[in-house]
Amino acid sequence: MKLAAHSFRIGLLSLLCAAQSRAQTIQAIYDDALQNGWQNWSWASVSLSNTNPVHAGTQSISVTAGAWQALYFEHAAFDPAGFTNLTFWIHGGSSGGQQLQVQAVSGGSAVASGQSLAPLAANSWQQINISISALVPSGQGGIDGFWLQDRTGTAQPVFYVDDISLVAGPTPPPTTNSTVTIRVDAGANRHLISPEIYGVAFASSNELADLNVPLNRSGGNTTTRYNWQINAANHAQDWYFESIGLASATPGADGDDFISQSKAAGAQPMLTIPTIGWVAKLGSGRAKLASYSIAKYGAQTDNDWQWFPDAGNGISQSTGLAINSNDPNDASTVVGTNFQAGWIQHLTNRWGHASVGGLRYYILDNEWGIWHSTHRDVRPVGVTMDEMRDRFSDYATMIKGIDPGALIVGPESWGWTEYLYSGYDSQWGGQNGWNNLPDRAAHSGWDNLPWFLDQMRQRSAAAGRRLLDVFTVHSYPQGGEYGNDVTTAMQFRRNRSTRSLWDTNYVDETWINDKVMLIPRLKSWVATHYPGTRVGVTEYSWGADNHINGATAQADVLGIFGREGLDLATRWVVPAIGTPAGNAIKMYRNYDGNHSTFGDTAIAATAPDPDNLSAFAAVRSSDGALTAMVVNKVLSGSALVVVNTTNFNGAGTAQVWQLTSANSINRLPDLNYSNGTLSNTIPAQSITLFVLSAAAPAPPILRIGTNAPPGQLELWLDGQAGTSYALLSSSNLSSWLPVSTNLLTSNSLRFLLATTNSARKFYRSQQSPP
């Protein structure tokens, strides 16, 4: 049976499942094969390619269920409110009489008692149509699967199932055309946008160059047990817990190749350093090894039948439970900090120290809080708060000892549960209930990550150096957005759920059922417990890479990252070149094919309803242009967008660049821009970038005021709001010294200067930089 913690994490394996777009009224689960991202998690004996009997098409599902065993299909968590019914066809085989129940599932457990079926008829098909309201109680939130289970506690004769579907509710009426006013203030909410929020993962040099992104991450479950000495990795739960050698046997080749690819495109590489205490090992001649050998541990509910049939999934076919008696040394070997120190030395020898252009970012492992699930073959018990602190500190100390300029990144927590609970408590809570969690109780009720930050501050102070430079988490929406589902209900959910990144009033609509407000939350934790630590999100995705809805979500997320002041982000993974999601990134980083970018100083931009249309704005330091990104999320109906700007001196015209469902970034005719206003009609599901050229500001005027207090000189600087000016002084009119540099938020700025020094002084002002 699937472990409870696993359902929370949308794993890498879902990337292997091709989802297909369906009609809006039906989402197929099984139609000759699993569809739309659904996966087989059955612990009954199941064949998905049975050829007789078949209700429709060429194949059906045969099921032989022992006591309490089930046909179980799992999906990334989704909101069942968009569906009205679960429907399927079932056949009782030659004997009939099977007694079964249907239940909806969340986190590996049924969410309600479900619905019992009447004993099946022999030798005939019958359609079952069950209301979603009969399976999911009101207020449940997200679910992640359904199972069809023996309800008697005894073995059932073989039966057959076919044509399983979810029936959606009625499609909402089309959105009517509307006028939306966006207000942009170049003098308000100004702060630098870190270019490192535009990072990706596992990108090639060509992909990095096409997207013009500055950061490339190597991470994920397979990096947790990477063995640099033999260049091999264990693929953990993502792929049958197999230890597999990479193409080259050269020590450290995988990391070196990744660094080389990244640097060739001008991107900073981020490399994961294992801390789990185990690494992969290989057999003779670099042969694969299995953690759950079927020959050794018996039949299992799934195996790598095509490439390595002896490798099972670690779920016993006879019991339906996880195998917990395996030898962790079967496919892995124990290591410590000294082993990884050899790799750090290798990296600094090959690439130099961080201060001279070597590897800068060292990530300390991946998703510690679910090791007991993803790496249960070697770590069957969840990590405690103390252990995470101690392991992290030990490895960070080792790395900084070899390369003092290295930046330590972590702890790469998977999501909401790990933000609040240790791996130990997550495992305990899934087995015993979420009251009286022992690890939390042993730490005075602290939430997991605030306690970790506070402890890292203390450990760093004792060490005399920072042991954590970038505080990072992962964030995947939990309502199914990460997959390829583009039904109407899911598109609306994608449009809304980006609020979880920033909105302090938005209650997450999934099982989380709380105000996530991710970036404000993380920044608040850092400010309270370890000030000065940078904040990053090193895995995220809103899915639907091949659909414009995924593109608008991606553009929305990047705009949020910049506006909210996130320091670093890497998308999981790099979208393929030319996909809508990839083009959404290019709208910020390479919209014209010449590496022109969105601005690097965020300014205030507001739109009335970000669920339908969001807007972000920034000034570009290279030429002073104001860039405004408008993301129209509505599924139908165009919008007349009126952009009102203040505190910006524009040049009279604006470039317009646009990405639509046609999936091509096009430059549209320039727009006239006068009196701080421009307008344009933009289509549904589009991303539009307005580039307003800056006019040369008039020279500043410096004048003497008349209300100076005694012993002071009052000066007024008149200039252009949103522009920086320097005030300089001189005693001889040839050598000028800076007094201050200020960004004007209005058209005038008052200075009060002491006149107690009897020396004569002259003052002047100029735009900064001149």
Q: What mean pLDDT do residues 123-129 have?
A: 90
User: What are the CA-CA distances from residue 9 to residues 44, 416, 500, 510 (Å)?
Assistant: 23, 10, 17, 13
Least confident of 7-16, 494-503, 667-676: 7-16
Q: Using an 8 Å Cβ cutoff, are 587 and 663 in contact?
A: no
pLDDT digits (tens, 9 = 90+) for 722-765: 788 999 999 899 999 999 999 888 888 999 988 876 678 899 99
- Amino acid making up residue 431: Q
Q: What is the mean pLDDT of the chain?
A: 92
Question: How far is residue 470's CA from residue 462's CA, in Å, rounded to a whole number?
Answer: 19
Residue from 431, 349, 424 nearest 3 by CA:
431
User: Would the pLDDT of 7 be above 80?
Assistant: no
DSSP state of 573: S
Three-class DSSP category at 6 = helix
pLDDT digits (tens, 9 = 90+) for 12-68: 223 223 233 333 368 999 999 999 999 999 999 999 999 999 999 999 999 999 888
Q: Please, what are the domains in the chain?
A: 4-168 (2.60.120.430), 194-291+326-597 (3.20.20.80), 604-694 (2.60.40.1180), 701-767 (2.60.40)
Q: Using an 8 Å Cβ cutoff, are 763 and 754 in contact?
A: no
Distance of alpha carbon 76 from its chain centroid, rounded? 14
Q: Which has more pLDDT, 56 or 6? A: 56
Residues 6+ apart with CB under 8 A from 252: 228, 229, 231, 343, 346, 347, 350
pLDDT digits (tens, 9 = 90+) for 689-700: 999 999 877 789
Question: How far is residue 171's CA from residue 635's CA, in Å, rounded to a whole number?
Answer: 11
Q: Using an 8 Å Cβ cutoff, are 371 and 379 in contact?
A: yes
Element containing residue 255 per DSSP (H, E): helix 253-264
Give the pLDDT of residue 178. Answer: 85
**pTM higher than 0.85, yes or no?**
no
Q: What mean pLDDT do residues 582-589 have?
A: 99
Q: What mean pLDDT do residues 210-226 have?
A: 98
For the chain, the residue count is: 770
Q: Using an 8 Å Cβ cutoff, are 656 and 671 in contact?
A: yes
Question: How far is residue 752's CA from residue 123's CA, in Å, rounded to a whole number?
Answer: 95
> Residue 112's pLDDT band (boundaries 50, 70, 90)?
confident
| Alpha helices by DSSP H, 548-662 | 548-564, 580-589
Give the pLDDT of residue 768. Answer: 81
pLDDT digits (tens, 9 = 90+) for 92-102: 999 899 999 99
pLDDT digits (tens, 9 = 90+) for 619-668: 999 999 999 999 999 999 999 999 999 999 888 899 999 999 999 999 99
Task: List beta partners, residue 77.
Answer: none
Backbone angles phi, psi at 233, to 5 degrees: -145, 150
pLDDT digits (tens, 9 = 90+) for 399-423: 999 999 999 999 999 999 999 999 9
Task: List beta partners, residue 643.
Answer: 182, 678
Least confident of 119-133, 187-201, 505-519: 119-133
Give the pLDDT of residue 87. Answer: 93
Q: What mean pLDDT do residues 560-589 have?
A: 99
pLDDT digits (tens, 9 = 90+) for 72-97: 999 988 888 888 899 999 999 998 99
Strands 361-364 and 45-50: unpaired
Give the pLDDT of residue 416. Answer: 98
Q: Using an 8 Å Cβ cutoff, are 192 and 600 in contact?
A: yes
Q: What mean pLDDT do residues 94-118 have?
A: 89
Give the pLDDT of residue 310. Answer: 98
Q: What mean pLDDT do residues 566-585 have?
A: 98
Least confident of 355-364, 545-554, 702-711, 750-759: 750-759
Q: What mean pLDDT do residues 270-295 have?
A: 99
Give the pLDDT of residue 20. Answer: 30
| Alpha helices by DSSP H, 433-541 | 438-441, 448-463, 488-497, 518-529
Q: What mean pLDDT do residues 461-466 have?
A: 98
> Residue 372's pLDDT band (boundaries 50, 70, 90)?
very high
